[in-house]
Chain A
Amino acid sequence: EAQVTQNPRYLITVTGKKLTVTCSQNMNHEYMSWYRQDPGLGLRQIYYSMNVEVTDKGDVPEGYKVSRKEKRNFPLILESPSPNQTSLYFCASSLGALNTEAFFGQGTRLTVV
């Protein structure tokens, strides 16, 4: 089954404690991205990757890091989480060509206290 898998689904952490949210896709997609979803703001892109070892900032990259060492994996790293990073996070992948469908993971609800 074609899917994007994120882990964990739920996470509560304290300010400043480094964390990683994993994302894996099994569709051999080149393009992967991370979004955060906040009420009334829709989804905003954090970072994206067009292929292995190629990453770039989206609209709201501050406080986040990513890496793309393998085609299937695209982890999101919060080196020093803060309460304003409390949000619902989605990983997405697509073939990479313009206009193709993006496939989303089920989301990770992060609370930073």
Chain B
Amino acid sequence: GNSVTQMEGPVTLSEEAFLTINCTYTATGYPSLFWYVQYPGEGLQLLLKATKADDKGSNKGFEATYRKETTSFHLEKGSVQVSDSAVYFCALSESAAGNKLTFGGGTRVLVKP
């Protein structure tokens, strides 16, 4: 079956540091890939997505590129802010029988001033 593996946290950074969160996936077909973010006490929000190989998703300074050859979708941001402190989830969607999302375990990011 499908699965998503992402690096465990917590990841602690100083403001303006570079952030990378690794994500790799296993899928039987050609999935779409997503990054969702969960701020404290809230539900998940879509951060960015990519629907085919070599696509780059970007939003709020975050970027991730769909790499089919390495089955990866790593999240990056060049200069983090305290407000980026959250839990980040990598996910994939493949089933045409329903928009099921398969999630990774989540990575908690803490940005210190």
Contact = CB atoms under 8 A, between A and B. Distances in A.
Contact of B100 (A45, A90, A100): A45
Contacts of A42: 4, 89, 91, 103-106
A97 to B, nearest CB: 7
Interface residues of A, number: 28
Contact of A98 (B8, B89, B99): B99
Interface residues of B, number: 25
Given A43-B89, A102-B46, A97 B101 contact: no
B69 interface: no
Interface string A83-106: 000000010101011111110111
Interface of A: 4, 31, 33, 35, 40-45, 48, 50, 56, 58, 90, 92, 94, 96-102, 104-107
